[in-house]
Structure formats: C-alpha cells, structure tokens
Chain A
Amino acid sequence: MFLRKYGNIIVGVFFMLLSAALITLALQLPKSAVMDIGPDFMPLVIGCVTLGIAALLTFLNVKNFKLHLEELESAEPEECDYRRVAYSFVVTVVYVLILQPVGFIISTIVYLPLQMMILAPVGKRNPVILVVISVIFTLVVFALFRYGFKIVLPAGIFTINL
C-alpha cells in the first residue's frame, strides 16, 4: 500500500533529484569551441524540462493527496510476492556476472533449474524434469550458436576446442 499511497510523490522527488544531478554534471561538460550548441546543450535542456515536470507532478500530488487517498480506499488491495522477485533478481544478477568467467554452459546449467524452482508454484517443483529440460536446452543453444551461427559464447573455465 505504501507504494500506491506515496508512489507519485516518490517518482516526482526522484526525478527532481535526478535532473538536478544531470544539470550539475552537464554544467561541467566542456563547451564546444566551434559552435554555440555543444555537447552540454541537450543534457541541460533535458535536465531543465525534467525538473519542471517532476516539480509539477510532486506539487499536484501533494496538493491533491486527500483526493488520492479517497480513491485508494475503494481500490482493492494488491498482493505481491516480493520474495520470489528478490530471489529471481539475485539469481539473475549472479548468473550475468559469472557468465563470462565461468562460461556459458556451466553457469546456464546451474542457473536454469534454480530460476525455475524459484518461479514454480508450490506442488509443481519436480527437480528431475527441470534439470533435464535445462541441460538439453543449454546444450542445444550452445551448439546452435557455436556451429549454426558461428557465434562463440563465453567459454570460461571450460575451454573447449570443438
């Protein structure tokens, strides 16, 4: 509910801060020696426009906060499974980070069943099937790219000269 309640104000404030940072950084960019409109022009324009819109959004939402609350009362509550999101996110980030050093085959074979287990609804977690699907899929994709498309995926520690 917190997000629904204060979401717009958070967005407004975030964009105000972001545009302030953008303007500050843009001012430090070198001016162009040959023309009036240099590399700093667009960032400044975008920064200023964003600042204006974000300020308006924040202002309107603060001003009409009561109206917004009344609206929310009639809306049905939302249920979200943040645990699954967090786990999925962590697993994916780790996968992307180890993809290069460990290599495509090993990291994918480990990642896929884990991610499927996280997403699977309770009662549909059959590790054997998930692992089999993952292994076959990984090998097919690797072979397809390596031999079909001639694109070498990261080999990592498992260097093979096939």
Chain B
Amino acid sequence: MAALANLGNAFVAICTPGSLLTMAFGVFVGIIFGSIPGLSASMAVALFLPLTFGMTPSMGMNTLVAVYIGGISGGLISAILLNMPGTASSIATCFDGHPMAQRGEAIKALGLGIVFSFLGSVFSFIILTFGAPLLADIALKFTPAENFGICFFALTMVAILSSGNMLKGLLASMLGLMFCLVGMAPIDGTPRFTFGSTQLMAGFDTLPTLIGIFAISEILITAEEISTGKVNIIQIKKAKGFGFSWQEFVQQLPNFFRSSLIGTGIGILPGIGGSTSGMLAYVTAKNMSKHPEEFGKGCPDGVVATESANNATIGGAMIPLLVLGIPGDGVTAMMLGGFLIHGLSAGPLLFVKNADVVYGIFAACMVCSLMMLIIEFGGIRIFVQLLKIPKHILMPLILVLCCVGAYATNNRIFDVQSIILFGVVGYLFHKFRIPTTPFVLSFLIGEMMETYLRRGLMQYKSFGAFFERPIFDAFFFIAVVILVWSSLKEFKAFKKKRAEAGH
C-alpha cells in the first residue's frame, strides 16, 4: 500500500504544466530520434543529459525517461513504413510491419504498434512499481553461466527464424558471429582479425552495422527494382482511429501478455537488451501461433509481439538500474550518469532516501507512455505521408541521414565507411536469398555470448560446472531441443519435397 500512496503523491507532483510540457517535448524529440534510421534512443538521451543539469533531480530524471520511452517506440515508424528499423529494438517490427504497409495496411500496422507499445510499457511499469526490489534479488542470482545460457538460447532462435531455408540461415548467423570476432577479444584484449588496422581494434559498432544491413542494402535493392516498375508508391487504405477493431485487439491479448513478460524478463537481466527481447518475442509468437506460415508476410501478431516486448524492456531495464545501480544497456548507463550528476546514487538506498524521485520516475514512466500514445496517434496520418514521397528522392536523403548518424555515434569516419561494407553484405544476402535476420541476431549476441562464456569459465573453472546451475540447465536444454526439433522438421520437409518431385 505504501507503494500506491507514494505513487499517488508522485502523480500529483509531476502534474504541473511545466513538467508535463517538458516531458511532452522529451517524448516528441525521442520519437523523432527513434524514427530516423541512424539516430538512436541512446543518442537522444546523451543529448538531453546536459539539458537536465539546471532542473531539479526529479524533473531531470523524468525528462530522460520521456526521451527514452519516445526513442524506443519511435523506431516502429520507419520499420513499418520504410522497412528500416529506426532503432535496434524494432528490427523484428520490419518483418511483418512492412509487408502490412505494402498491402496498404500502413495505418493498421502503425496503430497496432503504437497501442501495444503503450500497453507493453505500462505492463512493465506496473511490474516495476510493485515488484522492483523482489525482482532485483532474482536478477542478482544470474551469474555469467546463466547469462551464457540465455545467449545460447537466443542464438538457437536463428534455427526457427530461418525455417525453410535453415542451412543458409545458419551460415548467415555464423557470418554475424565472425564479424563480432573482429577487434579486441573480451577479457584479455588480444587483437583478433584486425590485420594491423587500428580502426578495426574497436570492432564493428552495432548501429553502423544495422544501418548498413537494412538501410544501405534497401537503397541498392530499390536501384535494382526501380525500372521494373516494382517500386510503386504504396497505396494507403483509409482507416478510422488506430485502424483495427476491438475484436482484433482482444485476439492479440494472449500474445501481448506473453511478449510483455518476455520483454520485462529480458530487460531485468543486465546486458541483454531490447533488440534481443523484441526478436525473442517475435520468434516465440511465431512458434506458438496457429498459423506460423503467415509470419513474415504481414501478420499483425508479429508487430504486436515485437512492440509489446521492446517497450516492456524499458520497465525491466529500470529495475536493476534503480534497485542495484547496474545499468543494463547504453541508455540506462547514461541515465545512471544522470543520477550521479544530480547527486543521487542509484541502489538500494535510493528507495529509502529519495523515495520521491523513485516514485516520480515510476509516475513519469506511465505519464510519458500515455503522451507517446497521444503524440503518435496524432501523427499516424502524417507519418504515412512519407510513403507518398517518391523513392528516388527519399532513399538518397535517408542515406545521408544514415551516414550522419553513423558518424555521430563515435565521431569516426570509419563507422560511415563500414556501413557501405555491411550494405554490400546485405545486398549480396538479398541476391543469394540468404535471410538477414539470423546475421543481425547473431551479431547482436555474439560478443556477449563469448564474454559470458569466458567469464563463467573463469568463475567455475570448467564448462561442466555450468550444469550445476539449474537456470542454465533449463535454458541450455530448451535450446538443444529447439535445435534438434527444427533440424528434424527441416529434414522432413526436404524429404517430402524430394519425394513429390519423384526422385
């Protein structure tokens, strides 16, 4: 009950015109950053950090939360309309969101994405408000061994993602892992595959890789198809409100709860992050679905799963940040910096000493989600106008933004050059009909997996000792079962195809 009383007080405290306006502005800027491929949520938070210096601690943190929420959610706009994820979290939104837009259902796809983003974040904030200290205890039980188990589990999702084309999917995933190897090895910092180049020492950054694989290759593909007449301006079916019916909404609820749980769960574990949770939720939804063959061809379930999960990750990621002072990803690390600047130390004492700030953040999270819903709802019909810009004008402009975004991440021109490399990889994947998703998923997980494996081995001395940890066992065996099961299914399908052809 104390939590409710505190939360009530916090709601009253933040409902001043000044604070509401600042948060609305933060959400708005976050959405813009999130929606432009090349600019990310973490960049938006980094830019806002200095602006909060002059504010009160509570107000400053609320503004950062606003930017974070807007940034994660904004990614869905470009994912659906342009097939380019605005942020890493919305990669899986492209798979079904863009096909829906191509069918003319852009408004429905956006509507579903926005509403379930909102619900996903509210779901996780409720968990955050009432269960934070308890869940943080559980998160502490996760040692490198368990984290390795989760990474391995996530990696085997590749097998499901590439069903029907499994061998090539696995090869794509291996290539993703290979690109992770470039640079300094985790733990001991041995340079690997740098070929004497100092630029390669730091390895390939996530953002330029994603931009290259999705945006640059999309531009090359447009160039290929523009004269064949395939690249027509997409028609937009008119729709009322969010574009979907109450019945459709109710049908999505089980999917929503499952995905939000996955999102919050992944968020709580430091170091895994929103991009992974979105994809895991997507694959789970595909697996549990009665019509898995529709996924990837414009199935609304895919959009709902990803968007619920990636926004639910926000609330999850705040749990270790607030309760333990452990940031889960780049954005929360910057928010930790924000705490320090305002003289607050995140950790168990924060709840005792600065309960007003903590519950202020909880309240701000919910208010900002609502603002996001309102702002994006108001914007749906403006966003879809983007589809009316001829592609030969839009694509080059996006490419320039991508280059600028890649440059701004680390202020090095090498990142801009590497987007071309990954653009070529993405284009070749398209030509040889290799799925790109396994590549991206592996690239995101690869380095974490190696780090946790080697850290775990340092702690437990041998891999066998990993199996004494029950959580690791569970993840590891589910992963193995998934691998074996998908391979068998693939093999059967192959045999059937051959039998039909009469060989």
Inter-chain CA distance A18–B425, complex, in Å, is: 14
What range describes how many residues of A lie at the interface?
35 or more
Chain A, 4-46, CB within 8 A of any chain B CB: 7-8, 10-11, 15, 18-19, 22, 25, 29-30, 32, 35-39, 41-43, 46
Interfacial chain B residues near A100, Cβ < 8 Å: 413
Instruction: Report how many A-B pairs have Cβ atoms within 8 Å.
Output: 167
Query: Which label, helix, strand, loop or mixed, suits the secondary structure of the A interface?
Result: helix
Contact A108 B392 (CB under 8 A): no
Query: Is A72 an interface residue when CB atoms closer than 8 A count as contact?
Result: no
Contact A133 B393 (CB under 8 A): yes
Interfacial chain A residues near B242, Cβ < 8 Å: none
Instruction: Pick the contact of A3: B228, B432, B450, B494 (CB < 8 A).
Output: B432
Inter-chain CA distance A46–B423, complex, in Å, is: 23
Contact A153 B407 (CB under 8 A): yes
Q: Closest Cβ of chain B: how far from A151's Cβ, in Å?
A: 5
Q: Closest Cβ of chain A: how far from B402's Cβ, in Å?
A: 10
Query: Is B417 an interface residue when CB atoms closer than 8 A count as contact?
Result: yes
Contact A11 B171 (CB under 8 A): yes
Query: Is A130 an interface residue when CB atoms closer than 8 A count as contact?
Result: yes
B69-77, B217-225, B272-280 - the one binding chain A:
B217-225
- B 377-410 to A, binary, CB cutoff 8 A, 1 in contact else 0: 0000000000000111101110111011001100
Given the contacts A85-B220, A96-B403, A145-B408, A50 and B174 also touching, CB distance less than 8 Å: yes
Query: Is B501 an interface residue when CB atoms closer than 8 A count as contact?
Result: yes
Contact B396 A116 (CB under 8 A): yes
Contact A97 B400 (CB under 8 A): no
Inter-chain CA distance A111–B226, complex, in Å, is: 19
Contact A11 B457 (CB under 8 A): no
Contact A120 B454 (CB under 8 A): no
B186-194, B246-254, B342-350 - the one binding chain A:
B186-194
28 contacts between A and B (CB under 8 A): A7-B431, A7-B433, A10-B432, A11-B434, A18-B178, A19-B174, A35-B457, A36-B457, A37-B454, A43-B181, A53-B170, A56-B167, A60-B167, A66-B503, A80-B228, A85-B220, A89-B220, A92-B216, A92-B399, A96-B403, A111-B400, A112-B400, A115-B395, A119-B222, A119-B223, A137-B400, A149-B47, A153-B407
Given contacts A11-B432, A42-B453, 9 further A-B contacts (CB under 8 A): A54-B171, A81-B225, A96-B420, A115-B396, A115-B399, A121-B392, A130-B393, A137-B400, A151-B411
Which A residues are closer than 8 A to B by beta carbons? 3, 7-8, 10-11, 15, 18-19, 22, 25, 29-30, 32, 35-39, 41-43, 46, 49-50, 53-54, 56-57, 60, 64, 66-67, 70-71, 79-82, 84-85, 87-89, 92-93, 95-97, 99-100, 104, 108, 111-112, 115-116, 118-122, 124, 130, 133, 137-138, 141, 145, 149-151, 153-154
